[in-house]
Amino acid sequence: MTSNTDSRPAAASGVFALGGDLPVHRLGYGAMQITGPGIWGDPADPDEAVRVLRRAVELGVNFIDTADSYGPFVSEQLIRKALHPYPDDLVIATKGGLTRSGPHDWRPVGRPEYLRQQLHLSLRHLGVDRIDLYQLHRIDPQVPLADQLGALAELQREGKIRHIGVSEVSVEQLKQAREIADIVSVQNLYNLANRKAEDVLDYAETHNIGFIPWFPIATGELARPGGPLDRIAEDHTATPAQLALAWLLRRSPVLLPIPGTSQVAHVEQNIAAAEIQLTDTEFDALSAATQ
């Protein structure tokens, strides 16, 4: 590992400008896990959740991703409690379009009036006048995509959304979305052990669209004793999870990993991954391990 002289290691991950005008450090923080079990209700230790958020920002994170459905609203409210008034460079992205009736229950609702309602609730819960990045959490198959993104584009024209993103889409859906609105980010499942969205990442990189991989530190069998992640992690005095994040940061300049945790020790460990520099040989070995 190298040393970051300003004690903000997230800065070592580099910078990506969402929409070309909203710069963030590429290693961010995902605020899903600061809720209760099943991403439902309050966390067991709300004070620790506040400490996690504040520590992430202290370490240079200036991109936090959340959603109205995390809790619901618990995550957004904790972010406000911990960080408001917000630092000038902090970008908070949230999402709308998934409803919750209980733990582990997620149902897409993309009716324009519902999305408008949820956007206004997120503004209130976060304590802001405009959402920097508002993402359609899932495409509702029962509602025309033009209606769903059209509602967000209208809110953008009203000054309540700065940039629009989409989540869990195919390349074809992303192309369709871009015909309706200016899409600056896509959030799909992607990690070292699961690269089914490789084609979406390649498209995003070609068009300079930020790619936010959720579940970024899944390692699976790659982290087994003696496995490729385990061996290279030993060489860097790092954990397999840190290596998985370092691989993502090296994989593409548009990747914006958002590892989440509910513990300060883990957020410190995750953000330290920004300072790991993989050699070409190490990167290639990890890339080939799941092919």
Q: Which residues are catalytic?
A: 70
CA distance 269 to 113: 41
- Closest to 18 (Cα-Cα) out of 209, 188, 201: 209
* Integer Rg of the chain from CA: 18
* 221, burial (CB in 10 Å: exposed 0-12, middle 13-18, buried 19+): exposed
Q: Which residues neighbour 281 within 8 Å (Cβ) at sequence distance 6 or greater?
A: none
Cβ distance 272 to 242 under 8 Å?
A: yes
Q: Please state the separation of Cα 242 from the chain's center in Å.
A: 16
- Beta strand 15-18 pairing with 22-25: antiparallel
Region for residue 73 given its phi and psi (left: phi exceeds 0; alpha: psi -120 to 50; beta: otherwise): left
